[in-house]
Amino acid sequence: MSSSGPLPLIVSSPSGAGKTTLTNRLRQQVPNVVFSVSHTTRKPRPNEQDGREYHFVDRTEFNRLVESDQFLEWAEVHGNLYGTSRNEVGRAESARGILFDIDHQGARQIKCALPEVVTVFILPPSMSVLLSRLRGRASDDDETVLRRYSLARSEIAHYGMFDYVLVNADLDTATEQLVAIFKAEECRRLRAAKLAETLLADRTTG
């Protein structure tokens, strides 16, 4: 961990571009990176567990959390509400990094609250590959697939607000690139400035 605390990293993409797989691989290869578990009003998929992938809540509870200012950011995506709890950031205090898997709306809000956050956008190699990946999800019906696909271009249109853009044509290559971004960002001068100044102030003699 840097002397300036955990590295905050946002990874965003249109549905089906592979951000969940890539963020899971990042956490496998970089120790002590904490995943920020968002709240959502959508129904859990068969392989999802409450408190692991998401905190699943109904709209009444979600709105209560909004009104009590419990979210660092929140937005409506694909007809469901998603939000990042302030508690998620607090629990990562001693971690090497904190990872946010959110859309461009949430990324913009977190960037305002945490200006030091690093943002990465994942692109598919083509729209046809994206559609094929969406159709490969056993948990989504045709209506959901087409809705997500129809919104993909509007989501891709926001790529310009991100620090990095990765093309997930080959999973191993994209994983290497994401890990490289994380490690390079750890070495930013500003993240080491506190330690450097402490060393300069140390008058210990040999």
Plot region of 51 (φ>0 → left; ψ -120 to 50 → alpha; else → beta): left
- Going by their DSSP bridges, the two strands 118-123 and 164-167 should be labelled as parallel
Task: Express each pLDDT in 95-118 by its tens digit.
Answer: 999 999 888 988 998 998 889 999
Domains of the chain: 7-36+97-200 (3.40.50.300)
Task: Express each pLDDT in 9-26 by its tens digit.
Answer: 999 999 889 998 999 999
Q: Report residue 76 CA to chain centroid gap.
A: 16
| Rounded-to-integer distance, Cα 204 and Cα 83, Å | 48
Task: Express each pLDDT in 144-182 by its tens digit.
Answer: 888 889 899 999 999 999 999 999 999 999 999 999 999
What pLDDT is recorded for position 1?
42
Compute φ and ψ for 99, nearest 5 degrees.
Answer: -110, 125
DSSP for 147-169 reads HHHHHHHHHHTTGGGSSEEEE-S
Q: Model's pTM, two decimal places?
A: 0.84
Looking at the predicted structure, is the pLDDT value of residue 3 above 60?
Answer: no
Task: Express each pLDDT in 56-75 by its tens digit.
Answer: 999 999 999 999 999 988 98
| Rounded-to-integer distance, Cα 39 and Cα 58, Å | 10
Q: Which of 99, 61, 100 is nearest to 81 (CA)?
A: 61
